[in-house]
Chains A and B, each alone.
Chain A
Amino acid sequence: MEKKTLQYDVVIIGGGAAGLTAGIYCGRAKLKTLIIEKTLVGGLATYTNEIENYPGFPEGATGLGLMDLFHKQAKKFGVEFKLTDVRSVSLEGDVKKVETFRNIFEAKAVIIGSGGKPRLTGAKNEELYLYDKGISFCATCDAAANTGKTVMVIGSGDAAIEEGMFLTKFADKVIVSVMHDTGKMDCNEIAKAQALANPKMEFLWNTVVDSFKGDERLNTVVLKNVKTEELIPVPVDSCFLFIGYLPNTEIFKGVLDMNRGGYLITNDRMETNIPGVYAVGDVRDKFLKQVATAVGDGAVAGYGAEKYLSESEIFEQQIMNEGNPSLVYIYNAVDAHSRELLSVFKEFEQSHQSIRVSCIDTYKSDGLAKRLGVQSGPCAVWIKDCRIQEQIDGCITKEKIEQMCK
């Protein structure tokens, strides 16, 4: 079967809170935008029954309901949706390719919001009680619902212990299942000392989950002692799993920079190591994973993608000037001396009609300067046949320009 190729300005991988927000920004900037989602639009948030900390909804909202609003808003701005999974990507160069089972989508910019999923224990009946049925992955989300209750935490890493301590502010008792020997934990020493001293925390050493039990909702976690094989049923109201999170980044391995856990590394503009490729939301290496922060990421990347595309256009048409002679002056308008030089370039432009002169202020955006490989201004760049022929850094004079542009 021949795959059909379609062109877009921006392709967004993942239709969760981050991807949808990026879509809203791109759509509103009149970019031809496609969001590819492998299952239900809305992402991980649709698994949450109640979202009470997303601003603007004082009565709270259901995850599904809130994401449906995001979806509608993106559609309103003309964003297109394709519900399938991405098989492979080719991100280098100006035209990026995103391949699905039946299509190849070509885009000038790609925003990755592929998210991830919490790691599961693999114990019996786990799938019956996930998310709103008793097994939770987010203390920030579900702690308040466990006020005065008994909860279990699985794991002993930083996330498990710190979230566990947070839970003690709400729950009466927090039972922590640790697979290691007594006193040995994976978290940092400070957290460990605090946790051991916390009267609401109880530790069950050398244990792993054997099975989950309950009716409609979880009510018992059966632990197994890894040394004695003894089964220990523990009645609980909720169980929190903190045994790691798996970002969906397999298809980006070796292409995009990621940390040890597989999260994509970006700067504060959501840019990855490849120009025109952005990462947003839970898939990104970041401090807090919430709908509220995903929305912020999406806005930054959507705005960034729009800037990147308009700069690409200026770069091709004006700077490279379709192979014709082009003189570019890169300066920072904050610097007085650089501003004075502007008149030199204006004069040059008038006396050399065949040469296109562009003055680029790096104060607002350094994107074009970066594309020319210029670190700092003032700098004059001489371009012909779409290649940089020569450049003058620092001390620029009329004579030097005349000499360079021969």
Chain B
Amino acid sequence: MAEFTLDCLGEACPVPLMKTEKKINEMSVGDVLVVSIDHSCAMKNVPEWARKQGHNVEIEEVDDGEWEIVIEKAK
């Protein structure tokens, strides 16, 4: 179970979502991806997309207006 990171700080939608989709597709089931974002719209579409795919999602607020979206690839 490997852990990957994806730095999307300073990037606006839909860039974080597109990068996340691409990265997740390269990973194996059980791997974890941590996406760093600071754009609030990515807080809506990235977790929503990941859940729709059936993955596990949890978000950490790292700083004011800065988040880490933790996605565990479930299938």
Contacts and interface: CB of A to CB of B under 8 A. Distances in A.
Contacts, number: 34
Contacts of B67: 83
B16 interface: no
Contact of B43 (A40, A82, A100): A40
A83 B60 contact: yes
Nearest to B58: A84
A39 B59 contact: yes
Interface in A68-89: 81-85
Interface size grouping (class) on chain A: 10 to 19
B40 A46 contact: yes
A40 B58 CA distance: 12
Contacts of B44: 39-40, 46-47
A85 B40 contact: no
A83 B40 contact: no
A189 to B, nearest CB: 40
Contacts of B72: 101
B43 A39 contact: yes
A101 B56 CA distance: 7
Interface string B34-56: 00000010011001100100001
B47 A38 contact: yes
Chain B interface mostly: strand
Contact of A101 (B40, B48, B58, B61): B58
A297 B44 CA distance: 25
B57 interface: yes
A64 interface: yes
B56 A83 contact: no
A102 interface: yes
A39 B61 contact: no
Contacts of A64: 40
A127 to B, nearest CB: 9
A82 B57 CA distance: 12
A72 to B, nearest CB: 9
Interface in A5-55: 38-40, 46-47
A39 B47 contact: yes
25 contacts: A38-B47, A38-B51, A39-B44, A39-B47, A39-B48, A39-B59, A40-B40, A40-B43, A40-B44, A46-B40, A47-B44, A81-B61, A83-B58, A83-B59, A83-B60, A83-B67, A84-B57, A84-B58, A85-B47, A85-B51, A85-B57, A100-B58, A101-B56, A101-B57, A101-B72
